[in-house]
Chain A
Amino acid sequence: MISDPNAPNGGASGTPASLAGVTASNLRKDLRLEWRSKDAINAMLFFALLVVVIFSFAFDPTAEESRQIVGGLVWVAFLFAAIVALNQAWMRELRNQVLDAYRVSPAPANALFLGKAVGNFVFISVVEALLVPLFVVFYNLHSIGPTWQLVPVFLLGTWALVVVGTFFAAISLRTRSREVMLPLILFPISIPAVLAMVEATTMILTGTEAPKFWITLLLVYDVVFTTVCLLLFETVLHAE
């Protein structure tokens, strides 16, 4: 007998699964898969480390010059590194056509999206946490503005990259050249967020003025795109 109809929690097939429960289950699964394969983290770390080292030697900037350029360098490094994680996140669902098992289940589509987005947020945050100290060392960085303001910039900026990236990675999943397609559609739409991240980071490091406008822009960007992605993801998931 495969399953017992009298078993607890379960004879009735297709009991609705909660959004929070399935999101947590998807997140646990993605963290477990990444912990075992380390595909995304290793590739992201290697790529971002390369950017830190190469630009450090190429520019050899003074402390003042560093404060001016590091905002751009940091976010370009993380943006390109994030592409690796975003592609990997959905590639796992294509192997063995596992995504089909999710599509035929009654689990909420948004739980898959949220699980992936939060998982990617964790992976990219880990890489950021490991690389920011290296940026400080290699570029001799000393922030003139309040350093704590970098925390909301990094949190909001990383979520901006992750939420839009996870959504567009799902869209490009069924295209033939998905690795090429993702940056092509992600970069243009990320421009407002990247601009805000770079400007806010530079303002904090140089201490020229308060980055309130750019942080607000990031917040609005996050809210708008998170809402749009959640509204549209079910259509993307069930598209052929």
Chain B
Amino acid sequence: MYAIFGDNGAGKSTLLRVICGLARPTAGTVHIFGSGDRSAFTGRLGYMGHAPLLYDEMTGMENLRYFAGLYGISDSARCEQAITAVGLDPALARRVGEYSQGMRQRLSLARAAIHDPEILLLDEPFSNLDPGSARAMGRLVAEMRERGKTILVVTHQAAHLAEIADESLWMAAGRVAAWERGIAAADRALASAVLS
């Protein structure tokens, strides 16, 4: 698991968008699984954006069934399993527009991982969450790491990843300014020292 830190505008979210093909790099190329062809790896990535990427007018299960269909998954049981895994009730009739922020974030994570991707890109998964929900989200991310997934997490809240991040990098002005094992680089003072 890679934790990516940096000030606002440092290019963290842009990095994730470039990796998953939502933005084009101004220079250089992205190679994943040895290929620079986006179509070769697009189904092997999962992306959780800063926005939930969910339809407000549909229920959680309806959303998951729809997004699973985009990956050729028609198995409803798998959607139920994914929604249960993030601590939500598959039978919940409420539409996503009526969900709390924490519920939306968890459903968004289930959506990103519904096709069992090898690489997960998570943009601010802990933002706007109360401490309890953020801890729950941290546990879910840790569980995915334990299952051997490569996870890139953009966050300002290093504490939630302190126990689980394998490597951390600090970005500034669109470049990687520091790269450390563990979470050390998340320490702003250290990063500032590196930058200076």
Contact = CB atoms under 8 A, between A and B. Distances in A.
B182 to A, nearest CB: 25
Interface stretch (B43-51, B155-163, B167-175): B43-51
B73 A2 contact: no
A168 to B, nearest CB: 22
B123 to A, nearest CB: 10
Interface string A1-43: 1111101111101111110011001000100110011000000
Given A3-B81, A4-B81, A96 B56 contact: yes
A154 B15 CA distance: 48
A13 B110 contact: no
A10 B116 contact: yes
A14 B115 contact: yes
Contacts of A33: 55, 57-58
B143 interface: yes
Interface stretch (A59-67, A104-112, A121-129, A141-149): A104-112
Interface string A91-104: 01001111011111
A10 B78 CA distance: 8
Nearest to B39: A106
B72 A96 contact: no
B116 A101 contact: no
B53 A7 contact: no
Contact of B53 (A8, A21, A36, A101): A101
A238 B67 CA distance: 18
B118 interface: yes
Contact of B78 (A4, A32, A100): A4
B132 to A, nearest CB: 20
A3 B70 contact: no
A100 B85 CA distance: 24
Interface residues of A, number: 39
A100 B47 contact: yes
B154 interface: no
B91 interface: no
Given A97-B49, A100-B53, A105-B42, A3 B78 contact: yes
A9 B144 contact: no
Contacts of A3: 78, 81-82, 85, 113-116
Interface of A: 1-5, 7-11, 13-18, 21-22, 25, 29, 32-33, 36-37, 92, 95-98, 100-107, 238, 240
Given A37-B57, A98-B54, A107-B69, 12 more contacts: A2-B85, A2-B86, A3-B78, A3-B113, A7-B78, A14-B43, A14-B71, A17-B71, A22-B69, A29-B66, A104-B45, A106-B42
Interface of B: 20-24, 39, 42-45, 47, 49, 51-58, 62, 66-67, 69-75, 77-78, 81-82, 85-86, 95, 109-111, 113-118, 140, 143-144, 147
List 8 A-B pairs, minimum CB-CB distance, nearest first: A14-B43, A15-B72, A107-B70, A105-B70, A17-B72, A101-B53, A97-B51, A106-B43
